[in-house]
Amino acid sequence: MASGLMASGLGAGLGGGLGGALGSAAEAAANSAESAENLIGIDEVQRSLNRSRASVYRYTNTDPRNLNPAFNPRKLNPEYRSDQKEPLMFHPNEVARFARDVLRIKEVTVEVLNSPSTATQQLLGSILEELRAIRGLLSSSGTTSDLDARREQHDQARPAA
């Protein structure tokens, strides 16, 4: 089996260097966007397996009563879905496994190419750059001690209830 995978997400290091909850939220969003980009839909599976759309749906491990059925080695297993209306998405390695093990295709190559940069990705990138700049300014100026002093002064000025 020759399984090639060409993919890259929003960019290397997205979310790195941000601290606290904001950093972990940015990293989680970047990781989910990267993992979503690496998944392929029914059309790509159809092209890579050289099968009709109907046969790809026949191969797929789905059940109308169970949103995420257990792994079936004789079927093409889609990725986890949280809603019945979400489209079926497949990991390229799963498509390659199915082609090799079930369909007995000798040479399997699954490629995931970069999608063109969307306006959302560009906006997220610019927001991330601004957050990094703000974080750099805050850490270099030492304003956290000034804020703590003001907070203590404000707390002392308020009468206790």
The string of pLDDT tens digits covering residues 42-94 is 998 998 888 999 999 999 999 888 999 999 999 999 999 998 889 999 999 99
Q: Domain check: are 36 and 89 in the same one?
A: yes
Q: Which pLDDT score is estimated for 139?
A: 82
Closest Cα to residue 79, out of 51, 44, 40? Answer: 40
Instruction: Give the other-Cβ count within 10 Å of 99's Cβ.
Output: 25
What Rg do the C-alpha atoms of the chain give, in angstroms? 24
Instruction: Evaluate whether 91 touches 37 at the Cβ level (below 8 Å).
Output: no
CA dihedral 82, 84, 86, 89 (to 10 degrees): 80
Enclosing domain of residue 147: 119-161
Residue 51 and residue 101 in one domain: yes
pLDDT of the residue at 132? 93
Asked whether residue 77 falls in the same domain as residue 17, the answer is yes
User: Which two structure tokens, joined as six digits, stand for 43?
Assistant: 């059309």
pTM, full prediction? 0.48
Contact 23, 135 (CB under 8 A): no
- Asked whether residue 19 falls in the same domain as residue 5, the answer is yes
Q: Is 24 in the same domain as 79?
A: yes
β-sheet bridge partners, residue 40: 90
Beta carbons of 60 and 75 less than 8 angstroms apart: yes
Q: Is the pLDDT of residue 8 over 50?
A: no
Structural domain tally of the chain? 2
Of the segments 18-22, 124-128, 150-154, which one has the largest average pLDDT value?
A: 124-128
Q: Do both 5 and 59 map to the same domain?
A: yes
Whether 111 and 124 share a structural domain = no
Considering the domain architecture, whether residues 25 and 100 belong to the same structural domain is answered as: yes
Contact 22, 131 (CB under 8 A): yes
Furthest CA-CA distance within the chain? 79
Query: Do 7 and 57 fall into the same domain?
Result: yes
* Residue 17 neighbours by CB under 8 Å, 6+ apart: 23, 132, 135
